[in-house]
Amino acid sequence: MITLVGVGHVFDLASSIRRVIQERRPAVVGVELDPARYAALQSPERRAPPFSVYAVLAYIQRRIAAEYGTQAGAEMVTAAKAAAEVGAGLAFLDLDSRMVIARLMRAMTFREKARFAVSILGGLFVSKKQVDAGLQKFEQNQGAFFDELAREFPTVKHVLIDERNEHMAKALRSLEAEHGSVVAVVGEGHIEGLRSLLADRSPELVRLRDLREPPTAGNASVAFSFRS
């Protein structure tokens, strides 16, 4: 059984993520990280070199997370701790981030690089209100969001979303085959792609909107199952 948990890297989701893992007590918890990024989350002094694309993106996440009273990536650290608490193994599902960014920069055209740079610079000034509005728009129509992303930044979507989805889906199939039950904690933006790639496995879905809302009395579960 595979459970896909959609998170936002700038929100305080610690208690919800811990509850999801404790309720399911999987054999393995997978996180949308590679070993180097996990080490960096545990030791901030090991962050990426300044002025790199990855460093700028990480800075934007840290700044926005601070507005929500948390630290960027805290949800992944919480998932790892919760895995240890229930005796589950920990698996890193993602590709090496440095290789991903390097491939992205090689594959983008000059025009797309310029638009991407402008977009990143705009992210330096995004507000909490804008994040909330953007998330609401994304949740209302994810298909339209990814269609627009593919039009504006085709290489970004292919390298940062599609290729990583394929890699993580393959990893989850292997983990389920070997261990039986897996909870995967990944960005909400990967959930629909993974759901589609794993449709034959009928994964259980826990969405970001559910994690951000406290469970109501008499309905402690924050998940629903997708059936193809």
Return phi, psi of residue 92, to 5°. Answer: -95, 115
pLDDT confidence bin for 226, thresholds 50/70/90 = very low
Would the pLDDT of 195 be above 90? yes
Residues 183 and 40: their CA atoms lie apart, in Å, by: 22
Would the pLDDT of 21 be above 90? yes
Is residue 79 within 8 A of residue 15, CB to CB? The reply is: no
Which pLDDT value is given to residue 116? Answer: 86
Q: Quick one: what percent of the chain has pLDDT higher than 90?
A: 53
- Give the pTM: 0.83
Closest by Cα among 66, 71, 70 to 47: 71
Which pLDDT value is given to residue 45? Answer: 57
Q: For the packed helices 35-42 and 74-85, what is the interaxial angle rounded to 10 degrees?
A: 100
Here the tokens at position 173 are 């199939």
Which pLDDT value is given to residue 158? Answer: 95
Beta bridge partners of 4: 184, 205
Q: Per DSSP, which regions of 108-191 are E strands?
A: 182-187
Kindly state the average pLDDT of the residues 7-24: 88
